Structure formats: structure tokens, C-alpha cells
Amino acid sequence: MLVDTRWSAWNEEIQVQVTEGAALGPAVALVGSVIAGAEAACSLQRGDAEIHAVNLAQGLPVRVSVRLARLLRSALWVARMTDGAVSPLAVDDSQSGVPSIHPVPTFADVQIDDDTVLAPWGASFDIAGIAKADTADRAAALVAHELECGVLVRVGFDVATAGHCPAGGWQVQVPGNGAVELPTGSAFATAGTDVTFAGHDPVGGEWEQVSVMAEDALWAHGSAAASLRRGVGAMTWLEQQELAARLVDRDRRVYTTCGWSHPHAA
């Protein structure tokens, strides 16, 4: 029997669904703890967030917690996998129009050595979107391991699953298009131009909405966000990545990759 609950945290709707009724309370506590820790590490809306120390360092090395280092590594991994289409860096353009004596920094200039982060001068991190997807993955894995049940964790538009699968699979909503069946251990994310996604402002372009199934929420999130920025090349790129995806263009026409024709995706 599936039971679930929802609440708001980190400016998102959180959903936890488990296959054992007795596990719901402990699952909510575990998920809430993981979310609170990640938010404290990297939310730019919190004055006490650890990431501010990194952003203020401007070219100097900073020691960070294991938690923040892990989130930053996840963000850099997505940047590499998307060839920079989804970058964790926001370049300081407060002096636009004034020639800079420094080269424009990129994610490739960031170094993380154990618990020490070195970011180039003129850049700051904004990893909230990526961190939320990564947090969904970690929370789902923790619940499944600790409580030995099947679990679905949704943080905003990012969905992760773990543990044993309920009969009929996990039913996940596709915004504006009903639901799809998500096998356990897989993930789902939707990016849209009408929402803030991947820690950045809405992006204009070819696509109105992109939904992606992947092995984890981190990659589903990153590939969906990257597709918004790739424009007409998104379909080819998604096929090369062998991802199941559904794309809606500005005229509301729907396109799907070969993987989306799987019977679990409706």
C-alpha cells in the first residue's frame, strides 16, 4: 500500500511516498534532514549558508564541509556532462562596460581538492537547482537503505526513487500530460521556460518544456535543463545520450526521443 505526504521546504513542494505505511513518519524525518542540510550549505537566500564564504573568496582557497564539497562536485559533473550548458557559475557583470583585467571564468577553472575549493576571481556559485536534484537522489537512497522500503522523493520538479518497486511502478506526473510509470531506481525531471530551473532564470528558446527519465535525478535535471539551452539541437543530443525524453515546443507540438516510446512512458 502506497502512502505519501507533501509539505513545503527550500521554496519547493516536497513529496515523499513509501510502500510501507509505518515507514512514512521516519521517511519524512530522514528526507527533511537531508533537505535542511543541503539548504544550509548552498541556498543563496540564506545569509548563513556556507556557500557565501566560497563566493566571497574571489580567487582564494576556502575550506568547506564534506556536504558542500559533495554538492559542488555534483554541479561540476553536470557542467562537464552538458559541455557547460548547465554551469554552476554566475559571472559578476556588475562592472559591465569596463574592460576586465581577468579572463572570463568558466566551470573548468574551478578546483576542488578534498575539502578545499578554489574558484576564479569574478565568479560565484549558484547551485541550488542542481543541489535539489542531488538531494532528492540522496534522500531516496537513504530512506530505502535505513527503512528497507520502496520510496519516491520529489523536490519541486525533480523525482528520485529507490528500494523495491510498488505494483504498477511509481506514477509520476508530467506537467500538462498526465502521468508516466517510473521504474524503481530511476528518476525524472521537468524543465520549463515558465519556471526557474537549474538555479537560473527561465530561458527562452525553442522549447516550452522538457521532461527526461534517467538513472538519477541529478542527470535527469541536468539533461532537461541543458536541452532548454540547446534549442533545435536538443533532440539529437538527447538521443546520443540514450535518454527517454519528451519535448514541447513554443507552438505546443510534442516531440519524443526513441526511449520515450517505451510502454512505461505514456
Identify whether 215 is part of a domain: yes
Flag the least confident range among 80-94, 203-217, 234-248.
80-94
Q: What is the DSSP letter of 21?
A: G
pLDDT of residue 216: 98
pLDDT of residue 199: 45
Identify whether 199 is part of a domain: yes
Give the DSSP per-residue string, 112-144: EETTEEE--TTEEE--HHHHHHHHHHHHHHHHH
Averaged pLDDT, 237-266: 88
Averaged pLDDT, 222-228: 97
pLDDT of 59-108, one tens digit each?
999 999 999 999 999 999 999 999 999 999 985 555 555 556 568 899 99
CB atoms within 10 A of CB 50: 17
Identify whether 67 is part of a domain: no
The sheet carrying 62-63 orders its strands as 62-63, 116-118, 111-113
Write out the H or E segment, with its range, that includes residue 246: strand 244-249
pLDDT of 10-49, one tens digit each?
999 999 999 999 999 999 999 999 999 999 999 999 999 9
Burial class of 62 by CB neighbour count within 10 A (0 to 12, 13 to 18, 19+): middle
27 grid coordinates: 521517511
Domain range enclosing 164: 3-17+150-261
pLDDT of residue 96: 52
> What is the band of 114 on the pLDDT scale with cuts at 50, 70, 90?
very high
Type of residue found at 52: H
Identify whether 73 is part of a domain: no
CATH number at residue 174: 3.10.520.10
Q: Give whole-number Cα distances, 255 to 36, 194, 218, 246, in Å.
A: 37, 19, 23, 6
Identify whether 229 is part of a domain: yes
Identify whether 157 is part of a domain: yes
pLDDT of residue 263: 47
Identify whether 140 is part of a domain: no
Q: Is the predicted pLDDT of residue 203 greater than 70, yes or no?
A: no
Number of domains in the chain: 1
pLDDT of 182-196, one tens digit each?
988 999 999 996 644
Quote the pTM value.
0.91
Strand partners, 256: 246
Identify whether 81 is part of a domain: no
